[in-house]
Amino acid sequence: MNVLFIAVALEFSRQNSETLRYVNLWHRWFRWNGVLWRRVEDLSVFHQIRLLARRYAKLFVELIARSQRELSLGTL
């Protein structure tokens, strides 16, 4: 599995461990509302994951570009 995918999954879990759960048996996301777990009926979880993945992808691209610049300058 790609390191970037693992990093996104771990960060998403860290940020949402108290409020979101995925139940694989039911193929559903659930959100804790402070009293009980409610099934997520919209695509809000996927939207959160997509935003996080985009942020990580941007950071990854910037890191690669910086490493290439430093390598070409001989500072790495």
Task: Provide the pLDDT for residue 75.
Answer: 62
Q: State percent of the chain over pLDDT 90.
A: 67
Residue 8 neighbours by CB distance under 10 Å: 19
pTM of the model: 0.76
Task: Provide the pLDDT for residue 33.
Answer: 97
Task: Provide the pLDDT for residue 23.
Answer: 97
Which 8-state DSSP code applies to residue 65? H
CA distance 71 to 34: 51
**pLDDT of residue 3 exceeding 70:** yes
Which 8-state DSSP code applies to residue 6? H
Per-residue pLDDT tens over the stretch 6-39: 999 999 999 999 999 999 999 999 999 999 999 9
CA distance 2 to 20: 23
